[in-house]
Chains A and B, each alone.
Chain A
């Protein structure tokens, strides 16, 4: 355990330096002359975060955008990378998979999450039931990959199965299946892993939103003769619309960026690649940073409408205030 000392000395020094920097900022802000005090405060409080974000996100993103119009040796090549993306069969498979992911994951996660939130609402042991479904949120994609490889494990038909699903299949008289190898349905089996992770997120947000729907409204609907389904459809759903939008958009963005699951489970082979993974493969493995950057740019354009929509909602809410 002697390695611990060195590691924690580094941590301690980092924290001390950081504290000194923040202390300095506070001192400058406090001592600034009254006439410019507000301005100094704004700069002092915003600058550290702003600089880090400009250097860490904005500058690289701009550089990557230029890279998208260059070839492997860095020469400008116009729209070649995009032509490649929309004509080559393997690149088209990647785009198709990404579309399937972004449709299925948000819908399934939100659907399961909402159903589960309704089912366990006011049930006995609600907290424990919630924790069980929420738990995958805490597990890394790498860990989830190992967990689900075990679930999908395949052995030849003549020997004992070690994967749960194939064991069930054999018990039902079916042949064991190579879930991660057989295209195109293997994409679905990867999607299931993401749904497994995201459902907990949807469930927690929606469960709280459901509890926020005024009891009086539900009661009124009930007194008016609405059955449970009608109460749900006409009172609960409109009451949680905002939360539904938040959940759907958040999961959509997370899904568009998904990388680790595909990387650790199939590495994008067997026609399972998605844009975020292909980007990594092209840029870091195939020596085609231009193509990787072009894919990144497409990803950015795909997410853009969602963010614009969210930003507009955000602005409206702020104007109301």
Chain B
């Protein structure tokens, strides 16, 4: 289902053309392997140079933010401020910005540790809800037998295009007026995020689950297994790579969301996620601008950790979902 990269050695060899293709007549080209090797080396050297340049350009913005977050206030704003790259010549280093944004007391404080905990408390239930509900639905779309299944599935796929903005006002009045979900609790955020995460979740998992060989399921049925047993004992364990990838997607998506939070959280330190707080403190220009880089870094540290730690699953599931269509 996923493409495993060839071991390094084999890959290098095939790249320089020393490994003849299986069952193919040897052509005259092969008699000049040295020329070709030189040429390949050269092109690959240019390619590597170009790649390093792109990688540098892509990394410098984030790196600049990281460096800035360790610079004292006077170096970042005001008359004596200068660019973050000067850090490497004057070595003025401080942790104070991080202490200020996470631990400082008082109403002026960014108070990010509170908001960080809120983000965790929002993201974990949503991820569980979406994984379970989407895999149940995906199982039916893949293996259930009912009229209109195809049409229903394509409809779910098409739901992904409904812009969130389109859904917000009616949903907010539904939550507060009809369902009476108390504002200023996590419940509104959990439900809204789950609703918005389901179409993509079902689509991704369906692509994976429908690839599970029918014989496996038939065999289980012959052995007397019911739908629930098949689902929990066979489908879910076999879908772990796709589930892991969806979990990461969902985590990143909810953690990084701003719009849903703006509408449903009420903005208090009891509920609001860290992105909302970050938008607040960075939106007001003033003497505390020097805290923005540290605050931004606190907010992106969790997604970066998840991303680097679980990158393998992320990529694997992305491919299984996206490419198998």
A residues bordering B, Cβ < 8 Å? 1, 3-4, 7-8, 10-11, 14-15, 18, 22, 26, 29-30, 37-39, 41-42, 45-46, 48-50, 52-53, 55-61, 63-64, 112, 115-116, 118-120, 122-123, 129, 131-143, 145-151, 159-164, 167, 196, 199-200, 204-205, 208-209, 211-212, 215-216, 219-220, 222-225, 228, 242-243, 246, 250, 253, 256-257, 259-260, 263-264, 276, 279-280, 283, 289, 292-293, 296, 299-300, 303-304, 306-307, 310-311, 313-315, 317-318, 321
Contact = CB atoms under 8 A, between A and B. Distances in A.
Contacts of A49: 133-134, 136-137, 198, 202
B306 A15 contact: no
Given A46-B136, A120-B51, A138-B307, A41 B157 contact: no
B121 A142 contact: no
Interface in B148-180: 150, 154, 156-171, 174
B58 interface: yes
A204 B117 CA distance: 31
**Do most interface residues of chain B lie in helix, strand or loop, or is the interface mixed?**
helix
Given A57-B162, A146-B65, A311-B158, A123 B300 contact: no
Interface in B128-149: 128-129, 132-134, 136-137, 139-140, 144-146
Q: By CB atoms of chain B within 10 A, which of A26, A41, A138 has the most?
A: A138
A38 B145 contact: yes
Interface in B255-302: 255-259, 275, 278-279, 282-283, 292-293, 296, 299-300
Given A29-B228, A122-B12, A257-B163, A136 B62 contact: yes
B60 A140 contact: no
B283 to A, nearest CB: 8
A222 B170 contact: no
Interface string B1-31: 0110110100110110100111010010110
B275 A140 contact: yes
Contacts of B5: 211
A255 B58 CA distance: 19
A132 B167 contact: no
22 contacts: A30-B226, A37-B227, A41-B227, A45-B144, A60-B170, A116-B51, A120-B48, A138-B252, A140-B303, A142-B275, A146-B292, A150-B68, A150-B84, A151-B61, A160-B83, A161-B83, A167-B85, A205-B319, A212-B323, A216-B21, A228-B40, A250-B322
Contact of B154 (A15, A211, A250, A315): A315
A139 B256 contact: yes
A315 B60 CA distance: 43
Contacts of A317: 325
Contacts of B256: 139-143
Contact of A122 (B11, B59, B158): B11
Nearest to B51: A119
B2 to A, nearest CB: 8
Contacts of B120: 7
Nearest to B312: A127
B34 interface: no
A320 B24 CA distance: 31
Interface of B: 2-3, 5-6, 8, 11-12, 14-15, 17, 20-22, 24, 27, 29-30, 40, 43-44, 47-48, 50-52, 54-55, 58-62, 64-65, 68, 76, 79, 81-85, 113-114, 117-118, 120-121, 124-125, 128-129, 132-134, 136-137, 139-140, 144-146, 150, 154, 156-171, 174, 185-187, 190-192, 194-196, 198-199, 202, 210, 226-228, 231-232, 252, 255-259, 275, 278-279, 282-283, 292-293, 296, 299-300, 303-304, 306-308, 311, 315, 318-319, 322-323, 325
Contact of A259 (B68, B165, B299): B165
Contacts of A37: 226-227
Contacts of B58: 132-133, 135-136, 196, 199-200
B125 A11 contact: yes
Given A3-B117, A160-B83, A204-B315, A18 B196 contact: no
Given A122-B12, A138-B307, A52 B51 contact: no
B319 A307 contact: no
A264 B282 contact: yes
Contacts of A15: 124-125, 128
A143 B150 contact: no
B65 A147 contact: yes
